[in-house]
Amino acid sequence: AQSVAQPEDQVNVAEGNPLTVKCTYSVSGNPYLFWYVQYPNRGLQFLLKYITGDNLVKGSYGFEAEFNKSQTSFHLKKPSALVSDSALYFCAVRDEVAGGFKTIFGAGTRLFVKA
């Protein structure tokens, strides 16, 4: 079965510094990986997805993700953090089941960006 792990409950970074939110995955077959962001009292918003063959994927709001097959990682990055990036971030993997599929979400990492 597919799984994702987000090893950090919380990441703290100063505004203007680069940020990384970590995600590792376990899949059988091709990985279908995603990052989502959740702001307070809102649903999840799609940020970016892995595209086969691209080791660096660009997404919304200046975020990008680095895919590393040998380390089975899909870390979310941003070169320069903003206070408004403070939110809850979820890594996710697609899991195909009979008749369709479901998405498995990591536990989430809370990002705090300090001014």
Partner 1 sequence: DVKVTQSSRYLVKRTGEKVFLECVQDMDHENMFWYRQDPGLGLRLIYFSYDVKMKEKGDIPEGYSVSREKKERFSLILESASTNQTSMYLCASSLAVHRGRNQPQHFGDGTRLSIL
Among 13, 23, 34, 65, binds partner 1 (CB under 8 A): 34
Among 17, 42, 79, 84, binds partner 1 (CB under 8 A): 42
Quote the DSSP letter at residue 2. -
Q: Does 105 bind partner 1 (CB under 8 A)?
A: yes
- Give me 2's structure tokens: 């597919």
Q: Does 63 bind partner 1 (CB under 8 A)?
A: no
Amino acid at 75: H
- CA–CA gap between residue 89 and residue 60 (Å, rounded): 13
* Least gap, CB of 34 to partner 1 (angstroms): 6
